[in-house]
Chains A and B, each alone.
Chain A
Amino acid sequence: MSRRARLVVFAIGGVALAIVFGFAFARMPHFGATHHPYRDLSVAFAVLRQSANAVSAVNFDQRGFDTLGEETILLASVLGAVILLRPSDSERARTPKDTGPVLSLTRLVGYVLLPVTLIIGADVVAHGQLTPGGGFQGGVVLATGLHLLYITGSYQALRRLRPLAWYEYGEAIGMGAVVVLGVSGLIAGAGFLANVLPLGTMGQLYSSGTVGVFSVAVGAEVASGVVVLLAQFLEQDIAITQGKNE
């Protein structure tokens, strides 16, 4: 299809879609209105379960089964990227040399911020039931924080701190822990991923039952998954070169 024909097809489809959007938006509740039936039910339930963070309560308690599905999507896509980015027959992995000179200020900021970022990431994961955050957000902070080592110019140091096999185990353990949590709900007779732990008091570190445990398990999976994923792209760019294996 020529570019012109493609644009014509898009113009027809785009205008039709815009009209459909227009009809849908005209019948939607006004922006900023006070009528939110799902909000009312969900918040009441979160308060009942002593969960200060209603978003985490939705993710890790009310919609726990969907979050299991979401984790599976993450696992599957990391697996897919690992398969797509593995070295082919005509390529070989070499040991990369450290990159060229890096500004000492960049290096300093990288080394100073590395522990800070890791602590913030762990904090966001561990307080998922109390403050904004949770396993997904904290996991990404942890994984990207680790890559500050790459910014400091030391790919070798990043590799040493990142034995990839461990992160692959971490991802599997995070995923497995959620399934174990779900099955323990079944064993307790309440249903898969039901909130069976004692609920505690809202606002305390231990509160809202399984929400915190679920959040930490998701945090482990997301952090490990993102590390494995980024490692594939970094290896592709830095360590893999054309040429047959000797």
Chain B
Amino acid sequence: MSWYPYCVAGWLVLAGIFGVVRSRDLIHTVICVSIAQSGTYVLLLSIGYQSGASAPIFGSSTPPSAPVVDPVVQAMALTDIVVSATVTALLLALVVQVAKRHGTIVPDELRALRG
């Protein structure tokens, strides 16, 4: 069981890429990219996890000496989420432009480059 979360992360990345490859709709492609990226959140958080440890927020219930999970990978997952959100927004803006200029968002119908 100890590699199970890592395998979930790898599976999410592969499933996301598979979705991109067989996509028939650019919105679907963008969502698949963010699914592939969400595999990295699972990987980061499962690397930092410790059984029985609490969240790295200190207070009355968690003294600074108590075992906590790794805050470094949590901060990286936060960075990852911000980047993913901005990339998704930019890609969706590109899809809007593609829809306007080509009248379609089916990737296979986008044949020619247009200036």
Question: CB distance A39 to B7 under 8 Å?
Answer: no
CB-contacts of B85-102 with A (<8 A): 86-87, 89-90, 92-94, 96-97, 100
Question: CB distance A28 to B47 under 8 Å?
Answer: yes
Q: Is A186 an interface residue, CB under 8 A from the partner?
A: no
Question: CB distance A39 to B97 under 8 Å?
Answer: no
| B14: chain A residues within 8 A (beta carbon) | 14, 17-18
Question: CB distance B6 to A74 under 8 Å?
Answer: no
**A10-B22 Cα distance, complex, nearest whole Å:** 9
CB-contacts of A1-43 with B (<8 A): 3, 6-7, 9-10, 14, 17-18, 21, 25-26, 28-34, 36, 38-39, 42-43
Question: CB distance A66 to B58 under 8 Å?
Answer: no
Q: Is A53 an interface residue, CB under 8 A from the partner?
A: yes
Q: Is A99 an interface residue, CB under 8 A from the partner?
A: no
| Choice from B17, B50, B96 contacting A236 with Cβ under 8 Å | B96
The residue in chain A whose Cβ has the minimal distance to the Cβ of B83 is A73
**A233-B55 Cα distance, complex, nearest whole Å:** 36
**A74-B83 Cα distance, complex, nearest whole Å:** 7
| A67: chain B residues within 8 A (beta carbon) | 79
Question: CB distance B100 to A32 under 8 Å?
Answer: no
Question: CB distance A47 to B64 under 8 Å?
Answer: yes
Question: CB distance B96 to A54 under 8 Å?
Answer: no
Question: CB distance B92 to A233 under 8 Å?
Answer: yes
Q: Is B29 an interface residue, CB under 8 A from the partner?
A: no
Question: CB distance B93 to A25 under 8 Å?
Answer: no
Chain A 140-151: CB-based contact to B (< 8 A → 1; otherwise 0): 000000000000
| A198: chain B residues within 8 A (beta carbon) | none
Question: CB distance B56 to A54 under 8 Å?
Answer: yes
Given contacts A47-B64, A55-B78, contact A31 B72 (CB under 8 A): no
| Choice from A10, A21, A57 contacting B21 with Cβ under 8 Å | A10
Q: Is A58 an interface residue, CB under 8 A from the partner?
A: yes
**A130-B48 Cα distance, complex, nearest whole Å:** 21
Chain B 21-51: CB-based contact to A (< 8 A → 1; otherwise 0): 1100000000000000000000000111111
Given contacts A14-B18, A32-B51, A132-B55, contact A80 B90 (CB under 8 A): yes
Question: CB distance B3 to A31 under 8 Å?
Answer: yes
| Choice from A6, A74, A131 contacting B82 with Cβ under 8 Å | A74
Further contacts, 20 of them, CB under 8 A, given A39-B48, A202-B64: A9-B21, A10-B21, A14-B14, A14-B18, A21-B13, A30-B2, A31-B3, A39-B50, A39-B70, A39-B72, A42-B72, A43-B56, A52-B59, A54-B71, A55-B71, A70-B83, A73-B86, A80-B93, A85-B97, A132-B57
- 6 smallest CB-CB distances across A and B, nearest first, come from A77-B86, A32-B51, A54-B56, A54-B71, A39-B70, A58-B75
8 A-B pairs whose Cβ atoms sit less than 8 Å apart in the complex: A3-B108, A10-B18, A31-B3, A38-B72, A39-B70, A202-B58, A229-B89, A236-B96
